[in-house]
Chain A
């Protein structure tokens, strides 16, 4: 009896919360915030709880199946009449009898089948199904607000009677079945809070977002996949029309040249290690540069939101991981390691919005007649002024460049003398580059300077934020600046975990530093690199703050997340916003699945 009373009271409370909370019922009492000391919105549920609890408690004292059935039907009938009378005017339905009958019969049949499958009497399921069907058909399928109180009554009382009849059929539980209910319900009781939380915060919003993405901008009519097709067909989100220009761009030619160069070195070095393709030192640097140049050649020509997102994912993930790894390796066991790593890790503590604002100031370009206040343009224009000036600083910089070039030449000579031919090509390239810089510096000048039509030198700052397509890259730099620290910390820990016996053994076998790194350390930390890459891909895919703050997607820097936000919350185009959210979700999903798989494998 106690159990039944409590169960009935909670059922009544929840039912009334749902009905009253959604404004389906006429307001009870005066229109004020509290009645007595209890908030007004609690009154109806409390009354519901008391009534339901009392009736359920009473029902559990009644024995004998015929009497039970009668009491139950009358009880539910009374409750049904009460709720029917309370249904507020705008929710009184005018029935479509076809829909009413259809739903009732359909769900009754479903209920019967479900009961049959569970080896219970089919009428039980049929009664519950019919009750639900009556409510769905009577209220869900009807036009609300045009009906009368009579129809509202019919709509509630009939299912109430059906439910009453159904509850009257089961007798009071004996000790054995109570024990069974107790054991069976325990799992549900413990799981319910967690499941409810997941449902409310994750499952329901996801389903609803998918549903909204199939509706129009005001969420009124179904447009099915029109939102998706507009995203993929709009030239703002995917513009591949200039693809042929990839193969004529300067980036492409330089990339191909460097790629050929790196492959040539790899081929030339193949004897050194007995491998067909030796990574490491002289090869990996030009090879990476070539790949990056080729990818950039593609991403600067193909435009649009989706391309931008892919560009972001490639660049930030690759650059952060590579830089993080390089710093972790170079700083490993070096002097002041912890201080250096702390400084590089510091940007992680800066919020994305804060970092964006800082970098926006650094990227500022000002009028050519005014001092540059953006630090990067100040340096760039300053370099230009120095290289075209004639004061002492100009000579100091020229001297520095010359000294570093000479240093490289000396190293090159030493390598030649000691017959370490592996490093020669890189040295040649580097010293040629510095030589070119030196000639340019003392010659026509290098930096943010131009000569105007009157022959006067003017500042020529770079429009980092406004000039497409490379403004995308300058935005990515912000995220790379932040995420490098993250990659470095994780990878550094992994490197320190590589057993030193392995490294010593390799050295005893005659491996040099580069071979130890590529053949011992790298395989050992490959899993960690995978984790870092996956984490970064997911994070970068959703990039939002930086674009929002710096450009808001203008100047060809739009990304999916910012487009989603603007569509949904500035333009109030809910359909398009939801569609973009779903696209973003689906594109992150495979990466998440890989990540979870790996975690489960690791745990097993």
Chain B
């Protein structure tokens, strides 16, 4: 990427987002689309009817989850089946909790393999997820197996009240049944709350799409420069909203200086969370080598969720698969 596009990227995006496209101080990628992962989907009206309050700390969340089980409700929808990528929603949970419990520094060390994958802290986070999920009646799952539940299939049960909470990224709006209302104040509307922090800070797990040029022709440079701007984000938001007939676009951008009026209420709340978030970290499994991030972290994580392996065994196997050098 040339200097103009790099300068535009630096001007239009906060450093916490541009860093993902940077290697050794050189900007290679332009962030074009943002996904916000630290979200819990829920129906405010159902919470109000049952007398539940949106939790603001991890302890409250666990308490609420247990309260729901005691009341005979199913707190969570969790599905980690995703065909060839089965296991990735589990990695998101682990990443979100690593970031919350041990902070951004340990998270970075973990992702860059400065601490081993079978570090006791990682194993502990595995177990935190496992304990929450494996409590009797905690999860609405197919055939009693989280690993058999397709991640796409959790929108319907949330709307039906088969489960109360569903931790998934901002793009999950697209997986709710047709006609689902989002954050418009109606009784059946679906909304999100921020996946609560543990230490009182506000860490956010994000993901995104980056654009990169493969030649240095001026036209390529101009396109990259445009893609980094708020104007691109607004144009894409308008286009995708129109395509969806005025529904949620599924698009989200953290580019600076966008006109907020083109976003719908739910999308605004995404951007609010993004704007006040600190620290922001990229999806760790996407940053790890593919052997791990798209391989053993998924498969061994699935074995752990399935109960075929303990957290320690799974973490040991993942550590063993980390490619040398």
Q: Please tell me if the beta carbons of B294 and A570 are within 8 angstroms of each other in the complex.
A: yes
Q: Is A572 an interface residue (CB 8 A)?
A: yes
Q: Which residue in chain B gives the minimum CB-CB distance to A381? A: B143
Residues of chain B in range 281-321 having any CB-CB distance to chain A below 8 Å: 289-291, 294-295, 298-299, 302-303, 306, 308
Residues of B within 8 A of A572 (CB): 290
Chain B minimum-CB-distance residue to A566: B295
The segment out of B83-91, B94-102, B183-191 that lies at the interface is B83-91
Set of chain A residues within 8 Å of B162, measured between Cβ atoms = 367, 369-370
Contact A463 B291 (CB under 8 A): no
Contact B299 A367 (CB under 8 A): no
* Closest CB in chain A relative to B266 CB, distance in Å: 27
With A367-B140, A571-B289: A554-B87 Cβ-Cβ less than 8 Å = yes
* Complex Cα–Cα for A570 and B148 (A): 23
Task: Say if the beta carbon of A92 comes within 8 Å of chain B.
Answer: no
**Residue on A nearest B306 in the bound complex, by CB:** A466
Contact A368 B143 (CB under 8 A): yes
Question: Which A residue sits closest to B136, measured CB to CB?
Answer: A453
Least Cβ distance of B37 to chain A in Å? 22
Interface range on chain B (Cβ under 8 Å from partner): 20 to 34
In the complex, how many angstroms separate the beta carbon of B285 from the nearest chain A beta carbon? 13
Q: Which of chain A's residues has its CB closest to B163's CB? A: A367
Interface code B138-162, partner A: CB below 8 Å = 1, 0 otherwise? 0011111101110000000100001
| B290 engages A570 (CB within 8 Å) | yes
Q: How far is the CB of B301 from chain A (nearest CB, A)?
A: 10
By a CB distance below 8 angstroms, the chain B residues around A466 are: 143, 145, 147-148, 306
Report A-chain residues with C-beta under 8 Å of the C-beta of B142.
364-367, 461
Q: In the complex, A177→B230 CA distance in Å?
A: 78
Distance between Cα atoms of A462 and B148 in the complex (Å): 11
A165–chain B nearest beta-carbon distance, Å: 46
- Structural contact, B291 and A368, CB atoms closer than 8 A: no
- Report the separation of the CA atoms of residues A573 and B143 in the bound assembly, to the nearest whole angstrom: 36
Chain B residues in 8 Å Cβ range of A555: 147, 302-303, 306
State which residues 74-115 of B face A: CB under 8 Å. Answer: 83-87
Q: Tell me if A548 is interfacial: C-beta within 8 Å of chain B.
A: yes
Complex contact A463–B145 (CB within 8 A): yes
Chain A interface extent, by class: 20 to 34
Contact A552 B145 (CB under 8 A): no
Q: Which residues 196-211 of B have a CB within 8 angstroms of A? A: none
Q: Are B148 and A465 in contact (CB under 8 A)?
A: yes
Q: Is the CB of A554 within 8 A of B299?
A: yes
On whether the beta carbons of B295 and A554 are closer than 8 Å, the reply is no
Contact B143 A365 (CB under 8 A): yes
Which residues of chain A in 173-215 are interfacial with respect to chain B, using CB atoms and an 8 Å cutoff? none
Assess the A552–B83 pair: CB atoms within 8 A: yes
A552 and B84 within 8 A (CB): yes
**Cβ of A173 to closest chain B Cβ, rounded Å:** 51
Contacts of A367 in B (CB 8 A): 140-143, 149, 157, 162
B179 within 8 A of A: no
The proximity string for A residues 455-495 relative to B, scoring 1 for CB distances below 8 Å and 0 otherwise, is 00000011101101000000000000000000000000000
Interface membership of B218, Cβ < 8 A: no
Q: Please tell me which one of the listed residues A364, A366, A370, A570 contacts residue B295 in the complex, with CB atoms under 8 A apart.
A: A570
B308 contact set on A, CB distance < 8 A: 468, 556
Query: CA–CA, A341 to B294, complex, Å?
Result: 44
A369 to B83, CA, bound (A): 23
Q: Whole-angstrom distance between the alpha carbons of A366 and B153 in the complex?
A: 10
Task: Give which listed residue, B145, B149, B298, B323, contacts A554 with CB less than 8 A.
Answer: B298
Interface residue? A217 (CB, 8 A): yes
Contacts of A551 in B (CB 8 A): 86
Which residues from A are CB-within-8-Å of B147?
A: 466, 555
Instruction: Indicate whether A462 sits within 8 Å of B143 (C-beta atoms), given known contacts A369-B162, A552-B84.
Output: yes
Question: What is the CA–CA distance of A570 and B84 in the complex, to the nearest angstrom?
Answer: 11
Report B-chain residues with C-beta under 8 Å of the C-beta of A365: 142-143, 145, 148
Within the complex, what minimum Cβ distance (angstroms) separates B268 from chain A? 34
CA–CA, A549 to B82, complex, Å?
A: 11
**A384 interface contact, C-beta 8 A:** no
User: Would you give the shortest CB distance from B36 to chain A, in whole angstroms?
Assistant: 26
Q: Which residues of chain A are near B298, meaning CB under 8 Å?
A: 554
- A355-370 CB mask vs B (1 if < 8 Å, else 0) is 0000000001111111
Cβ–Cβ < 8 Å partners of B144 in chain A: 368
Residue among B83, B84, B142, B291 facing the most chain A CB atoms (10 A cut-off): B142
A553 at the binding interface (Cβ < 8 Å): yes
Could you list some 20 contacts between A and B, CB below 8 A?
A364-B142, A365-B143, A367-B149, A367-B162, A368-B143, A368-B144, A370-B162, A377-B143, A463-B145, A465-B148, A466-B143, A468-B308, A549-B84, A552-B83, A552-B86, A553-B299, A571-B290, A571-B291, A571-B294, A573-B291
Nearest 5 CB-CB pairings of A with B: A365-B143, A552-B84, A571-B291, A461-B143, A571-B290
Sample of 7 more A-B contacts, CB < 8 Å, known A551-B86, A553-B299: A368-B144, A369-B162, A463-B148, A466-B306, A552-B85, A556-B308, A571-B289
Binding site for A on B (CB under 8 A): 83-87, 140-145, 147-149, 157, 162, 289-291, 294-295, 298-299, 302-303, 306, 308, 323
Q: Which residues of A contact B (CB under 8 A)?
A: 217, 364-370, 377, 461-463, 465-466, 468, 548-549, 551-556, 566, 570-573
